[in-house]
Amino acid sequence: MQPHHTSETSREPIQKEKAPSTPHAEGPSGNPNRDLNSTQQETDAQAEAAHQKLITTQIAKLALAGHAVHQLKAGGFMVCKYGLTKFCRDFAELHAFAVKLGVNE
């Protein structure tokens, strides 16, 4: 029986050719719609982060004034102190209540 001979072949990676692109017609990814969507998503994420920071700051200010604030899963906030509670439907109402209490100007 003869030994099995294998020939070595070159194992160079196959390089794909890039399609030519027009520099100003498309965004960095080559898809103008994708770039607009990702920019919009980044803007939305930044706005959401800024809104969450406002909420967190408001809750902290109320906590420093002795009020416990609970953010509810169903939406809204429950503010508690001395066994009394106040339900606020949204952040605007929470902020208005904090102004009424003298916590905010």
Q: Which among 61, 49, 44 has a CA at the least distance from the CA of 95?
A: 61
d(CA 65, CA 59): 10
Q: Which among 33, 103, 44 has a CA at the least distance from the CA of 69?
A: 103
**CB atoms near residue 78 (< 10 Å):** 14
Q: What percent of the chain has pLDDT over 90?
A: 52
Question: How confident is the model over 38-67, as pLDDT tens digits?
Answer: 787 888 888 889 999 999 999 999 999 999
pLDDT of residue 4: 54
Q: If 0-12 CB within 10 Å is exposed, 13-18 middle and 19+ buried, where does residue 91 land?
A: middle
pLDDT of residue 81: 96
pTM for the complete prediction? 0.61
Tell me which residue has tokens 């439907």: 89
The stretches of 6-69 forming alpha helices (DSSP H) are: 32-64
